[in-house]
Every structure is written in C-alpha cells, then in structure tokens.
Amino acid sequence: MVKKYGFGKETETDAVSEKIEESSKSELEIEATTDAEGTHFTMELTDETAVYGLGEQMRGINKRGWIYTSRNMDDPSLTESRESLYGSHNFILITTKERNLGIFIDATGRVTYDIGYTKYDELRITVSGGFDLYTIEERTALEVVREFRRIIGKSYVPPKWALGYGQSRWGYKTEADVREIVSGFEKNKLPLSMIYLDIDYMDRYKDFTIDKNRFPDFEGLVRELKAKGIRLIPIIDAAIKVEEGYEVYDEGVKNNRFCKDKEGKEFIVGVWPGDSVLPDVLNKETREWFGEKYKILLDKGIEGFWNDMNEPSLFYSKQNFVKCINEIAEKKGKDLQAEDFNHINYLLSQLANNEEDFKSFYHNADGKTISHDKVHNVYGYLLTRAAAEYFEKYNPNKKYLLFSRSSSIGMHRYGGIWMGDNASWWVHMLSEFKMLPSLNMCGFLYVGADVGGFDGNTTEDLLLRWFALNIFIPLMRNHSVPQSRRQEPYMFGKTEVFRNFLNIRYKLIPYIYEELERCAESNEMLFKPLAFEYPDDERAKETEDQLIFGKEVMLSPVFEQNASGRYVYLPEKMKLIKMKSCEEFTVTELEQGDHYIKIPLDTFAFFVKENGYSKIMNYIQK
C-alpha cells in the first residue's frame, strides 16, 4: 500500500511517475515535528530492526548505526567517515519480523538520516525545505521494493554492447593514444567494447567541441573503431566556458539559459575551462536547448556519453575567489603567525563547493525563481535527463549509452551511474559491492565503479580480483588518473588471466543482459542482499559480502589482499562453479552451511542454485 503526504514541495522532480492522491497527515504513523532546521520524523528502532536503502552511500548494506546526508558532493575521500557522496537517493526500507516499511522523501534539498547514530534505538530524519513523503507497506522487503520501483517508473536499460568491457584513463589525449590502446588489446587478444575519452579531447575543455590538433579526423576515428566493434565514449561536463565566439556560450547568454546571481547576471564559477557558467536545467526550455547540443557529437557517430562534474562541482565562484585573494593579499609582507597561516589554509579550503556559493545563484524553474541551495540534489539528474530526452528525439528507435556521476531518484529512468572517484583500495572494491543492492532498490540497475580504482596505484592482484568481481556487474569500466601507474590489463604479467576473465564476461553477457531487462521490466532487484532472499535466516541477515544476482546466482568475491580463498555461507544447497577459462571449469555440489572455498588469483568462482544450474550451463557451454 502506497500513501503520499505533502509538505509544501517547492518544485516538481518527476521522481514519481504515477499520480498518487495525497492522504491526510492524520493517517501518518511517523511522529513529525517542525523547527528552524526543517521537518523531523522519528521512529523507534528495536534491536532486530534493519534499515536498508539510500543508494550510493558508504558503510554497510544495513545502514543501522551511522548518520547519512543527502547532499550531492564532489569529495573523493571515500572513507567510512563520509556522510554524503555524489548522489542523493532518499529511499529507505525499515524491516522487522512483523513489518516491512518503505519511506521515500521526494525532496530537492538536504535530507539527513540519523539511523541509530545519536541514539541506537531511534531513527531521525530531518528534511530542509518542502517535500512529499511516501510510505509503502507490504508483506516482504522485496514486495516493498517492487512497489516503490513501480511508482517511480521503469529503469534505464543500455544497449547490449554497453555490457562489454570499457577501457578509460584520464590522459588518452590524442588519436594516436586511442589507437595505441586498441593495438594493445588486439595484440594481447583482449576483448574491448568501449574506449572512454576524458576532458582532453575537447578544445580547451569546452563542452561539445573537439581539439582538431589532437583529433584531426574525429569522425574517421569513430568509424574506424566501430568497424572493430569498439565505441568511443566522450565525457560531457556540466559547466560552459565563458568565451565570446564560443557558440554554446553565445547562444546561452542570448537566450537566457544560464543560472543567475541575485542581480540577474550570469553566475560565474571556476571549473576546468576557467571562468564558466551553469546551464539552468531546472528550466524545461534550457533542458531542451542543452540536450540538443549533444547532436554535435551524435552526428559524428557517437553512441554514448558519460556526464561528469554535475553535482555541480565548483572549484570556486568568481565572487568568492576574488574575496579570498584580496584577504590573502592583505597578509603580504607581514610576519605570519600560526593563526594567520591556518586562516589562509582555511580560506583556500573553502573555495571549492562552498555552501554559501550554492545559496548565491538562482534558477528559473519554469517561471519560479529558486535558490540553487534548495534544488541542489536534482541538478545532475536533470542535466542527464536533458540528454536522454534529446536522444529520444534524435533517434527514437535506438538505445544510447548514458551514465552520470551525480544523480537522484528519477534519473534512474534516463541513465545509469558510476560510483564516483574511488581509489585503488581493497576496501573500495568491497564498497562497490555493498552499494549494488542499495542502488537497485532506488531504480539504478546499470551501475558500476571504476575497476582497479581511479586514484592511486593499483596492483596486479587487486586488479585481478576487481575484474573477477565485475564479471556480473553491468557497467565494467577500468578508469584511472594520469598520475597513476598504467592499469590496462596488458600492462601486467598475468595477461592470460585477464583475457580469460574478460572472455568469461563476454560469454555471460547474454545472461546478464537478459536478467537486466527482466529486472527493469518487473521492477526487481538485479543484486539482492541475502537478507531479502532468506528473511528467516539469521545468518543470511548478517552476511553482507555475498549477494544474490538475478534468480539463480550467488556472488562471493575475494576482498582481501593475499587471500587465496574465503569463507562462504550457503543459505541453501548450491553448486560451486570455478572457472579458469570458458573451457576449463569445475562444478562441485555443496550443502547448506559454512564452507572455506579456495579461489586462486587465476580463478573466477560463483554459486548457482540447484534450479538454475542448467540455465547457467547453457550460457557457459554455448
């Protein structure tokens, strides 16, 4: 049963695609109070209560015991202390033996979830600004998720080729660089479906442009790669460079397409191109205009994009930067005491993504002026929606690849996400795994993290384990910073093992895609916690490093350095399939209970329920 309660939402998000009449607040069972901070909801938590959801967040699948804030933020220090990541996904599922209750906060501003952090036996939700609250109560946790997914609309499904392997690196700067990567994969007989271009392909980091010196025949390169079964996937950033004569900027100024300051002038921010402006995607006409700009690259044969920096991430605002520099300049020639030096460091640290800056520019939300601070969390969603809606006009019979760094619920209908700027840490591989079911609950099925880690130096064993982890994950992209060691799979000694893992992935793509389409159509989760599949099994409830994939498979990857295997809990009798290659594999039947499984670096292992064994083997043996 779904109920909706209105609390003065300021602008429509379209997160819920089904019209639901409002219920009287007298029917709301959750205690609600309002003060200067916002609206507070409190609920008692018993010892057995588990709380799931919130999509892209750190820590466990069960969110009990920490505080989380929905505030889309570009901050790559993805540690357990983080309260916010790149997306805001305001759905939680509260489960006990007696009850399964879903709560969705359809809000555009900050939402804080204190889930047993201040008081372990209390859930406290604080919402700033207006919002709609939805409650969903069903017999099981999976039924709650299905009902929620039904009312928010069907999930995005990419073209089938987008489940292939993608190679990326911030630093593929020229046509020669791209051809070198293709050659490396071909020489080592490694399958490849996508090469990603970061900001270096652009003319001085300007969206919808191409550096003609670095890519003199961009269209020819796109055709050449596609003939090999490889798509070129360029990045699009949120900000537009301030430069007269740059067509996108000139058009935007002429037609009033950019966010404004309090005086009605374009709000100037600093990002990769220097002084830039932000498309006002809260405005429908601006979304149509910005989406149409993708045509420049679509006409050159491009079939997919990744949207970045769309929280939006700001290096600085021009007004705050000038103020900071002037204040530092006052210290010139003076004897700096410790307090002065610390203050300068503080001023510089406050330049990027400053909350006061978010309050200093405004949107024209189809006739209504709204401070960005109040709608911050939907900016990335609406920018990606602009692209997807234009693709539908450009070619309604074609599927395009589209995924984004920033998101909120609603964007799940238009594209997928990658999990932001992670690092080459073993714990980040585990974090990716634990986010999968939480994101699925919120409608995001085409998801994944940067394989091998974006920042830092990966190791061969970490990369091998990460490849094995990602064999079943829909978005499989290896991505890294230019300062890191090269992490293309042929850069290491065990190239044959990487080749075998990729061949297994490609062998299983038809099965993975079939499950992806089924889950999108039926509003199911592609990745489920064991607790959802086996709600009466206490061991299953506490197991968070194993997941059920689709109907038949259980995944239990290795997440520890130098481990040659791991302990696995089987909630029922299953078959263990160990694969060294598509041709070399073993099958062992194991009873319900605990098992230690040897999984060498050159082996991919997964479990299959007895009733799904024949189906999986049909795909493996094709």
C-alpha–C-alpha distance, residues 174 and 160, integer Å:
28
Read off the amino acid at residue 521: E
> What backbone torsions phi and psi does residue 69 show, to the nearest 5 degrees?
-125, 125
User: Pick the catalytic residue: 207, 303, 421, 533?
Assistant: 421
Q: Please give the helix or strand (H or E) that residue 385 lies within, else none.
A: helix 379-394
Query: Within a 10 A sphere around the Cβ of 349, how many other Cβ atoms?
Result: 9
β-pair partners for 32: 41
Query: Within a 10 A sphere around the Cβ of 518, how many other Cβ atoms?
Result: 13
Read off the amino acid at residue 150: R
Which of 602, 359, 365 is CA-nearest to residue 496? 602
Q: Is the peptide bond before 312 cis (omega within 30 degrees of 0)?
A: yes
β-pair partners for 115: 66, 123
C-alpha–C-alpha distance, residues 394 and 291, integer Å:
10
User: Pick the catalytic residue: 56, 311, 432, 488?
Assistant: 311
Which of 373, 375, 351, 372 is CA-nearest to residue 362? 372
User: Pick the catalytic residue: 308, 432, 488, 533?
Assistant: 308
Helix crossing, 175-187 with 218-227: angle to 10°? 10
Return the beta strands (E) in 82-230 as ranges.
Answer: 87-88, 91-95, 100-107, 111-115, 122-127, 131-138, 165-167, 194-197
311 included as an active-site residue: yes
C-alpha–C-alpha distance, residues 496 and 79, integer Å:
33
For tokens 């060294």, name the residue. Answer: 580
C-alpha–C-alpha distance, residues 354 and 294, integer Å:
29
308 included as an active-site residue: yes
β-pair partners for 577: 587, 606
Q: Please give the helix or strand (H or E) that residue 223 lies within, else none.
A: helix 218-227
Structure tokens at 110: 């900050």
β-pair partners for 114: 67, 124
* Contacts of range 562-566, beta carbons closer than 8 Å, 24 or more positions apart: 562/461, 564/598, 564/599, 564/600, 565/596, 565/597, 565/598, 565/599, 565/600, 566/596, 566/597, 566/599
Q: Which residues are catalytic?
A: 308, 311, 421
